[in-house]
Structure 1
């Protein structure tokens, strides 16, 4: 799974196209995009979105993560070992009563986007919660296993280690079958995420639709609202990438309705849901669908109201606001939002394709010396 990071995913389009011996005209025709757009993406005048990226990847018969470029992998040997031994329990943990606290601490690192600390803690904790679940067989213990695999998926998705992400969601689903009912909905949401990150948006929607039916028929009360909420958030993202306006609005309305059950955002199973996180998803999807004024207006309302969300949500929020600023020709606004994303979530910004791509385009467009942009480009690993 080893790969080399490509700062600014759009820079990789030209490399891949030329490796396949395709002209811009031929690739544009295959992908269903204009030659002008493809040319601008390659030279850095336009940012590569994941929707267009998925079309280009499909046309070149490669995966979306291959096109975007993966972050370099750290030493994953210990984590691979722990995942492989899912069905082979080890020694019982010395202090099983502390496992929930450790999982909570792991999720706090996730919300703070401290990726390097997470990868150090995951192998040991994953091994111990799995052994404990085999020993007790209790749904509560298997819920911890499913929750830790949710963190494995999140880490892998951030680095675009897609084979690891898919393996993690497989194990997460198996653990969720023995856990509390909401854990199964979280696992389905993450499984749909592997389709999202691979560019198979329609496939991800199939997973979401099936899970929504299950949640509606099996859950009640607060659990039902939470499960439906996180599923509809994933659904609106997938529908937005397909630019299906009607389906997107259906998921938005359903997510907002579920969020009415929560006056403030809550965190369960490592995921936040409520009015604020729903708004961040609406902003991202508005950007995906080129509704940039809507994205900026929604962001203004959210930010001015005072956010309580953690860095794992605020960092991507500023990246998506930056996307809309750039699409509207506001390079200063783009730079300011990217700086905020780096300030809030530096480890995430260092590997996130949106921050890398937007920085690449800013560098390409900016013709005058700019110390702030120079610092940002250096942090992103771009020559300027």
Structure 2
């Protein structure tokens, strides 16, 4: 099977099934899903959801990311990716040339801005050199702040890898991130690292394991932190927790776990961040980002109308949030509209996601799936679908 895929996730699933020599009935039986659902996913009448991708992946011995298909990168980015892998490997080998603090801080800020704006190519271009200079700086300074800076760079490595479904790099990045924050006592850094580690479980399709990581990290943060640091740590961990809960195969248990994390996140957001969401170390927490996660969780639980109810004031919810939150939220709303049969609203939100973050939309599995299903369901030419086809490189 090809390591990367230019096709949408549902079509990638069909390729995997055929390469394994399985019929739809055989795979459906192995994964305990209906043949009807599998058939609709493969032909493009239904989206392949993350939960179903994880379930099918488990039956095939694959991660959810492998079922969705790794995203391709441009040829001129291949060398940068090789450099990044080398820099991650050299985590304990500082460079011989001293890293200047001002230059490191400026480079970190540049990556923060590019990440917020979902400029994926810029993040990949800057990370190899930044990771090496931040490593040298942390070893030389040996302070909590310097190690936290390095941990944040590794968080960006994880973010980039997760967006492309490079699970080997994502898992290594979170291991290095945890290592960095452990060099000096840093409970807030540990909480953020645990949030990313749980994300690696999420992308691998192991929601249960990710929830264990989250709950342990919340207990640790509540014990080791106080004030707004504690609120921020508990908040971002609860956001990850509700997402993981929404992906549980047992939707009854998922709903119960999700409501627990939602209630905790909303309580902390209202108490500590009523003035607006906070952005710290490339993490965002507050009432607005909590609402975007609630929307996504309701959708993953199979409750699209509840998700759309959260999205009634979507413009207000998204106002001021970075593109990394705007685009996925628009994609989730598009998927919810598809689930209730509103193709025009789905297309409008898909287009809004592309406008907000075209580089992210190009590689995002939900963007590619929603486009594929809309193209399949529309039986006549549609100018907006044609425009998105040219932008995405996906045929109608």
CA distance in structure 1 between the aligned counterparts of 2:391 and 2:368, rounded to whole angstroms: 10
Q: Which residue of 2 aligns with 1:12?
A: 12
Q: Which residue of 1 aligns with 2:355?
A: 343
Shift of 1:290: 1.9
Structure 1 stretch displaced more, 298-307 or 201-210: 298-307
Shift of 1:61: 1.9
Q: Which residue of 2 aligns with 1:51?
A: 51
Residue number among 338, 345, 352 corresponding to 1:326 in the alignment: 338
Q: Secondary structure at the match of 1:47?
A: coil
CA distance in structure 2 between the aligned counterparts of 1:268 and 1:229, rounded to whole angstroms: 12
CA distance in structure 1 between the aligned counterparts of 2:86 and 2:319, rounded to whole angstroms: 39
Q: Does the CA-based 8 Å contact 2:234-2:265 persist in structure 1?
A: yes
Deviations 1:276-318 (A, max 9, x none): 0000000111111121122112112242466110100000010
Shift of 1:178: 2.2
1:113 equivalent in alignment to 2:118:
yes
1:34 equivalent in alignment to 2:40:
no
Q: 1:183 to 1:305 in 2, by over 3 A?
A: closer
Q: Which residue of 2 aligns with 1:240?
A: 246
Shift of 1:101: 3.1
Shift of 1:95: 2.4
Q: Does the CA-based 8 Å contact 2:292-2:317 persist in structure 1?
A: no
Q: 1:348 to 1:306 in 2, by over 3 A?
A: closer
1:168 equivalent in alignment to 2:173:
yes
Residue number among 83, 91, 96 corresponding to 1:86 in the alignment: 91
CA distance in structure 2 between the aligned counterparts of 1:194 and 1:219, rounded to whole angstroms: 24
CA distance in structure 1 between the aligned counterparts of 2:183 and 2:367, rounded to whole angstroms: 38
Q: Does the CA-based 8 Å contact 2:11-2:42 persist in structure 1?
A: yes
Q: Which residue of 2 aligns with 1:215?
A: 221
Shift of 1:379: 2.0
Q: Which residue of 1 aligns with 2:269?
A: 259
1:369 equivalent in alignment to 2:381:
yes
Q: Does the CA-based 8 Å contact 2:191-2:233 persist in structure 1?
A: yes
Q: Does the CA-based 8 Å contact 1:3-1:72 persist in structure 2?
A: no
1:289 equivalent in alignment to 2:301:
yes
CA distance in structure 1 between the aligned counterparts of 2:213 and 2:97, rounded to whole angstroms: 35
Q: Which residue of 2 aligns with 1:200?
A: 206
- CA-atom RMSD, angstroms? 1.5
Unaligned runs of 5+ in 1: none
CA distance in structure 1 between the aligned counterparts of 2:164 and 2:222, rounded to whole angstroms: 33
CA distance in structure 2 between the aligned counterparts of 1:340 and 1:7, rounded to whole angstroms: 21
Q: Secondary structure at the match of 1:369?
A: coil
Q: 1:109 to 1:79 in 2, by over 3 A?
A: same
Q: Secondary structure at the match of 1:350?
A: helix
Shift of 1:77: 1.8
Q: 1:334 to 1:35 in 2, by over 3 A?
A: same
Q: 1:357 to 1:305 in 2, by over 3 A?
A: closer
Shift of 1:92: 4.4
1:178 equivalent in alignment to 2:183:
yes
Unaligned runs of 5+ in 2: none
CA distance in structure 1 between the aligned counterparts of 2:96 and 2:310, rounded to whole angstroms: 51
